[in-house]
Amino acid sequence: MIFFLSVYSLILSLAEAAILPQKNFFARKSQQCCCLLFRYVLVTIICFSLTQILCIAQSDNSLVELPSGTPIVLSDINLPGFGGNQPTVFDSIPSYRPIMNDIPVPNLGPGGGQMPTSGVGGAAGDFSVRAQQVRLMRADIFDSDTSGTSSMISNGTVPGGSNTLATGLDISWGSFQWLHFPESNQTKWIFEQGINVVISGLQSQELMSGDTIDITADRAVAWTVCMQDRIKNIGGQINIADLDMELYIEGNIVFREGGSVTYADRMYYDVKNAVGTIRGVEILMPVAEYDGTIRLKAESAQRTGPGTFSVQNGLLTTSTMGEPSFYLRSRNIQFEQKRIPVYNSLTGQPLIDPATNRQYEDTRNYVVAEHNVINMGLPVFYWPWLAFDAKEPVMYLKRAEYYHDSIFGHQARTRWNLYQILNIRNRPDGTALDLNIDYLSKRGVGHGVQFTYNRGSFLGAPTPTVGLADFWGICDRGHDNLGLDRRDLEPETDYRYRGFWQHKQFFNNKPFGSLLGNGWLLSAELGVSSDRNFLPQYFGREWETFKDETTALELKRTGGDEFWQWSGAQSLAFRADYTIENFYDRRSSLPRLDHYTLGYSPFGKYFGDRFTWYEHTHIGLRGFETLTSPQDPADAAMFRYLDWEVAPGSTLDPNDPFQQVDSLKAMREVFSTRHEIDMPFNLGPVKCVPYLAGEYAHWGIDRNDDMVDRLMGTVGVRANLPFWKVNPTYSSSTLYVNGVAHKVNVGFDLSHTEVNKGYGNLIPYDSIDDRSIEDFRRRYSVTTFHGAIPLLYDERYYAIRSGLSNWITSPSTELADDLTLCRFHFNQTWQTKRGPTNRRRIIDWITLDTGLNLYPKKEQNFGESVGLIDYNFRWHVGDRFAVLSSGLFDTFNSGQTIVRLGGMLQRPDRGNIYLGADRLDGPFQRTYLNGSVAYNLSEKWAANYSTSYDLNEGRFMGQNIALFRKGEVFVVKIGANYDWSRNVWGLSFGIEPTFLSKLRGGQSFRAL
């Protein structure tokens, strides 16, 4: 039985390793070994306890002491010679005489049945016992804390720690008999006509699918020695590793644990030597991360020693058919578990666990598989030899995809496990090293390496660390297509690449936590690429939606009262950053120090929170250098510098033959300190917060090569009034409401700000837009304005009109100007109850958030008193249908107007539909109709379609259609898409076997 559990757990691990996503698998596997050893030891001790109790019954008539609190219940017993006076219950007692004492000798006579031939101590002759059930109601089990020490049963605590459990054991059988051989002190136990063992109340573990184990078989035989002498000595211990016991089970063996079921034909196990064999094993196992059941069959499985297993002719599939149409088969699988001492990678000294004063050990599970074949009706893949860590969900190949379009041509993209290729066995735990090999028929062969890590230590230091390093490059022989007017661009370099690294390290443990204090976070980032168009072309989705890839180092700490012994939140950050590429604006901080205080009451002892202080101070050596212009003539024709990127009066066109661009380059000191004092009070139900704010800022140089000192002052008041009304009796089947609660929050922020220096001549050390947005703005000035972008659409003044300078946590120090502003907000929510009468739930039926800016000085808003009106509306008409709308408006002539209106219908497990329209007005006018449909046609077929149509031009801007078929063998995807801006049609075809893990983190090429 012990071996059965061992091999079951091995096969469970292999099945998990074949299908589970890597993200979840690493998190679970760190506890696997402890959990599996717990299960082995638990079942071993319980079964051995029962064997010893029965062994006492066939011994002599002396008084035998058992561990206190071990109740035994014998029911429906049929003992020879007792007649109608059969014992039914033996209560829990610390000691008793064996139940076989004074049993009369049965007189079988001719034809009375076959009896064992060897004598039984305590009885006048041989006998057999038949019982329907023997129940061990409670067992005190102690598990050793080290793998090298055997588990024991004792009435005391095992040295090194103990684990006490309340576990029930039920054993039922058809017939039972034993043979005892006094000359060798050996006993043979025979269970026939069926046996059932149920172990319940097991302590829940992450890798266990239930708290009960159920084992049934037709027949079982056990050979053992009687351990009566050891049990007689109160306080004695039984060492399982030294026990001479052999088990044999055969016939319809079924092992159940939670939703997992294992079948086998025969099983043999030698307890003392820890070896055994299972023949004809099959496992059906549901996995939470996978939609289906994993099925694994093996001709035989063997345990050849502690922590060493082998499986012959193993077959893995998700098919439940008798003859699976697809599977992964391995002729021989070897599994070996090793414990590797851990050393400090910096000093080479052993790492010691302070709790046990022992060296840390890392458990590794190695698997070697021979002659591996993937069969899908026919063999489709063969690999002669695989060696990998069982914690990894895949073998060698981690990803394979195919695409085709007119930009990259035929694309075959693959990702490989570099640890396995290089046969690196002692790899750092919690890390992955991958090799990317991609073939693009029109561009070349792409190649790269990706390293990810998530560990509890870094270079031997006990600090939790997570990070990602990625490099990908290609010798590009094609041209770039980046959209309208830039469809054929010559790359600025032949070898193109992207290098990227992000690292986070938390200092919360000793010794760093004691030295620096808890709460420190070290962040490091490296970003470098070969040319300005590489990321937009090859990593378009990341370029448009992800954070800019920069090079920076930051050490930051946040905290509350324990930080500086102040109330309120505190933050201190040391930062250094530098832009490597010259085709981006080079902004740098070498270094920069930032400190924040939020919500500190300096006079709280006397006035409470009547005065609250907010502060942001930073000082540093800041640098800026203007980017270079494109080299390709077509790209340069669409390029203009932004006004703040060059010296005042300089041309914005790099191709102007009459005037050269006067670029900026500076590295000077910058200092600013901004403070705000709030004085909150309640005016009836209205919460009022008058406030005063001020800032002093210094720049060592500006765009005119002058030193700048700026003072800024702000005075204002904020007010907020929440109110609500509830009508619990209103009900409407048409509107689908049962009672209505209307909740409203009204407020305003009135402020007046003055500065003694404007922002126009300041160097923009702080960026307010991503690089992709700045790149678009440089083309925007050409395509829309044919020159400089007017102040109406300048992003810097737009941020000022929005009230950015009123924030203590403003991301930009430079952006501040004279401004009188009153910002109103009006937030409303209508709630109701929906659902069955006895299970009503509260939902947000309708939400409407609105806001507007009021400018008392019209000239600050281009002659209009009202501006930047916005709203966000959502109406859940029913449980499946919702109406959505949002908008943003400026009121001056040619101001922005953005309106979105749409509806979404969702049917769980069936699909969803969205149809909406977007209206854009301002320097250009466009109306787009957008729609998407995702629908499950049947249990096997699904389809989706999305499109965007320009109503002004009467053309489709983009379309995407895909058809999926989910079969027993694999999921097939066929798709097509169109991009009008690039004038590109694309096709995609993919096959994903359903029994392979769904990998993430693939190469993020833009889907065309």
3-state secondary structure 529-554: ECCCCHHHHHCHHHHHHCCCCCCEEE
Q: Is residue 443's pLDDT more than 90? A: yes
Q: Minimal CA–CA distance to 536: which of 523, 546, 526, 551?
A: 546
Provide the pLDDT for residue 724.
Answer: 94
Q: Which of 302-306, 744-748, 967-971 has the highest mean pLDDT?
A: 744-748
Cα(352)–Cα(1003) distance, integer angstroms = 40
Segment 530-589, tens digit of pLDDT: 999 999 999 988 998 898 999 999 999 887 545 455 556 788 899 999 999 999 999 999
Q: Is residue 330's pLDDT more than 80? A: yes
Sorting pLDDT into bands at 50, 70 and 90, what band is 516?
A: low
Lowest mean pLDDT among 272-276, 451-455, 705-709: 272-276
Kind and range of the H or E run holding 775: helix 771-783
Cα(829)–Cα(742) distance, integer angstroms = 6
Lowest mean pLDDT among 82-96, 216-230, 329-343: 82-96
Lowest mean pLDDT among 476-485, 707-716, 866-875: 476-485
Provide the pLDDT for residue 90.
Answer: 35
Provide the pLDDT for residue 345.
Answer: 53
Q: Is residue 977's pLDDT more than 70? A: yes
The pair of three-digit structure tokens given for residue 732, joined into one six-digit string: 């409407």
Q: How many CA atoms lie within 13 A of 190 on its CB side?
A: 13
Provide the pLDDT for residue 860.
Answer: 93
Average pLDDT over residues 646-662: 82
The answer to whether 127 and 175 have CB atoms below 8 angstroms apart is no
The answer to whether 224 and 187 have CB atoms below 8 angstroms apart is yes
Provide the pLDDT for residue 888.
Answer: 95
Q: Minimal CA–CA distance to 181: which of 143, 241, 224?
A: 224
Lowest mean pLDDT among 10-14, 27-31, 236-240, 984-988: 27-31
Q: Is residue 473's pLDDT more than 50? A: yes
764 to 527, 586, 644, 724, 771: CA distances (angstroms): 21, 11, 7, 45, 14
Cα(424)–Cα(428) distance, integer angstroms = 10
Q: Is residue 869's pLDDT more than 70? A: yes
Cα(943)–Cα(933) distance, integer angstroms = 8
Provide the pLDDT for residue 589.
Answer: 92
Query: Residue 107: is it exposed, middle or buried by C-beta count within 10 angstroms (0-12/13-18/19+)?
Result: exposed
Residue of higher predicted confidence among 312 and 437? 437
Segment 66-85, tens digit of pLDDT: 343 333 333 343 433 334 44
CB atoms within 10 A of CB 706: 10
Q: Is residue 923's pLDDT more than 70? A: yes
Q: Is residue 919's pLDDT more than 70? A: yes
Sorting pLDDT into bands at 50, 70 and 90, what band is 737?
A: very high
Q: Is residue 746's pLDDT more than 80? A: yes
Who contacts 810 (Cβ-Cβ below 8 Å, separation ≥6)?
A: 616, 674, 804
The answer to whether 258 and 208 have CB atoms below 8 angstroms apart is yes
Segment 101-130, tens digit of pLDDT: 333 333 333 333 333 333 333 332 333 333
Sorting pLDDT into bands at 50, 70 and 90, what band is 214?
A: confident
Cα(498)–Cα(552) distance, integer angstroms = 16
Who contacts 665 (Cβ-Cβ below 8 Å, separation ≥6)?
A: 624, 625, 626
Kind and range of the H or E run holding 360: none
Provide the pLDDT for residue 512.
Answer: 60
- Rg for the chain (alpha carbons), in Å? 38
Residue of higher predicted confidence among 414 and 882? 882
Segment 38-66, tens digit of pLDDT: 343 334 334 444 444 444 333 333 333 33
Share of the chain above pLDDT 70, in %: 72
The answer to whether 823 and 856 have CB atoms below 8 angstroms apart is no
**Mean pLDDT of the chain, nearest integer:** 76
Q: Minimal CA–CA distance to 30: which of 456, 357, 336?
A: 456
Q: Minimal CA–CA distance to 537: which of 575, 492, 601?
A: 492
| Residues paired with 846 in a beta bridge | 830, 875
- What is residue 653's three-state secondary structure? coil
Q: What's the one-letter identity of residue 591?
A: P
Residue of higher predicted confidence among 226 and 335? 335
Average pLDDT over residues 976-984: 88
Share of the chain above pLDDT 90, in %: 36
Cα(10)–Cα(334) distance, integer angstroms = 10
Who contacts 565 (Cβ-Cβ below 8 Å, separation ≥6)?
A: none
Average pLDDT over residues 312-318: 79
Cα(806)–Cα(500) distance, integer angstroms = 35
Cα(635)–Cα(481) distance, integer angstroms = 11
Average pLDDT over residues 629-636: 91
Cα(64)–Cα(228) distance, integer angstroms = 8
Query: Residue 80: is it exposed, middle or buried by C-beta count within 10 angstroms (0-12/13-18/19+)?
Result: buried
Q: Is residue 204's pLDDT more than 80? A: no
Give residue 759's Cα distance to chain centre: 44
Strand 586-600 relative to strand 569-577: parallel, antiparallel, unpaired? antiparallel
Q: Which of 48-52, 319-323, 607-611, 812-816 has the highest mean pLDDT?
A: 812-816
Provide the pLDDT for residue 420.
Answer: 76
Q: What's the one-letter identity of residue 929?
A: L
Residue of higher predicted confidence among 181 and 480? 480
Residues in the chain: 1008
Cα(39)–Cα(37) distance, integer angstroms = 5
Sorting pLDDT into bands at 50, 70 and 90, what band is 347?
A: low
Average pLDDT over residues 135-153: 31
DSSP collapsed to 3 states, 698-740: EECCCCCCCCEEEEEEEEEEEEEEEEEEEEEEEEECCCCEEEE
Segment 349-375, tens digit of pLDDT: 777 777 777 877 766 667 778 888 877
The pair of three-digit structure tokens given for residue 955, joined into one six-digit string: 């053309």
Strand 737-755 relative to strand 495-507: parallel, antiparallel, unpaired? unpaired
Q: Minimal CA–CA distance to 984: which of 463, 251, 480?
A: 480
Cα(2)–Cα(255) distance, integer angstroms = 12
